[in-house]
Amino acid sequence: MDAKILNKNIAENLRKIRAIKRISQDDLANICDISQQYICKIEKEKVNPSILILYKIANALEITVNDLVY
């Protein structure tokens, strides 16, 4: 799978899941111990998050990494 497609999937899934769970970027960032700006960059497809970051986000949202990626 192409990196652009992966980043798009991650961005869309992250926005959708955050909205469903009513978690702000700032709250998610605090839980994951990463910056709100980095969450924003993920959602705007500006960065390639590491597997560790994806794991932290998935764990905070109580989902799997697969739920973020696919």
Is pLDDT of 1 > 80? no
Distance in angstroms (rounded) separating the CA atoms of residues 20 and 4: 24
Q: What is the DSSP string of 4-30?
A: HHHHHHHHHHHHHHHHHHT--HHHHHH
Specify the pTM: 0.93
Mind listing the domains of the chain with CATH numbers?
3-69 (1.10.260.40)
pLDDT of residue 2: 87
- Interval 28-42 mean pLDDT: 98
pLDDT 10s digits, 60-70: 999 999 999 99
Do 30 and 60 touch, CB atoms closer than 8 A?
no
Distance CA 38, CA 47 (A): 8
Q: What is the CA radius of gyration of the chain?
A: 11
